[in-house]
């Protein structure tokens, strides 16, 4: 499904654990996959250039498999302290209630 083994493991875990199937939310972006509950995303997988993650140099031109996952807002500070986790303002109505994993 994805070029990244961790993304494949997570997507397979979601399917196995919750019996949720991925869908393609955007016709224009067939590489985007979402998992939903009651029509609302709780996980969105998509490719993203490193420059969009504020990476520089060679890393800015690489494409990363990114996963947005809805989490408990009380866990955000702890999660954002971890390497490779970024806030995903574009997905949040409260700005910091969903981290972006890569």
pLDDT tens-digit series, residues 17-60: 999 999 999 999 999 999 999 888 889 999 999 998 888 999 99
Q: Whole domain around residue 62: which residue ranges?
A: 5-101
Contact 46, 32 (CB under 8 A): yes
Contact 67, 42 (CB under 8 A): no
CB neighbours of residue 58 within 10 Å:
8
Total domain count, the chain? 1
CATH number at 78 reads 3.90.1150.30
The reported pTM is 0.77
Q: How many residues does the chain have?
A: 102
């Amino acid at each position: 499904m994805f070029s990244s083994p961790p993304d494949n493991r997570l997507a397979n875990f979601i399917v196995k654990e919750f019996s949720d199937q991925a869908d393609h939310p955007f016709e224009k972006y067939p590489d985007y996959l979402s998992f939903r509950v009651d029509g609302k995303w709780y996980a969105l997988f998509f490719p993203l250039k490193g420059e969009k993650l504020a990476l520089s140099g060679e890393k800015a031109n690489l494409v990363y498999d990114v996963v947005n996952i809805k989490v408990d807002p009380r866990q955000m500070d702890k999660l954002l302290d971890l390497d490779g986790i970024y806030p995903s303002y574009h997905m949040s109505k409260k700005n910091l209630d969903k981290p972006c994993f890569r």
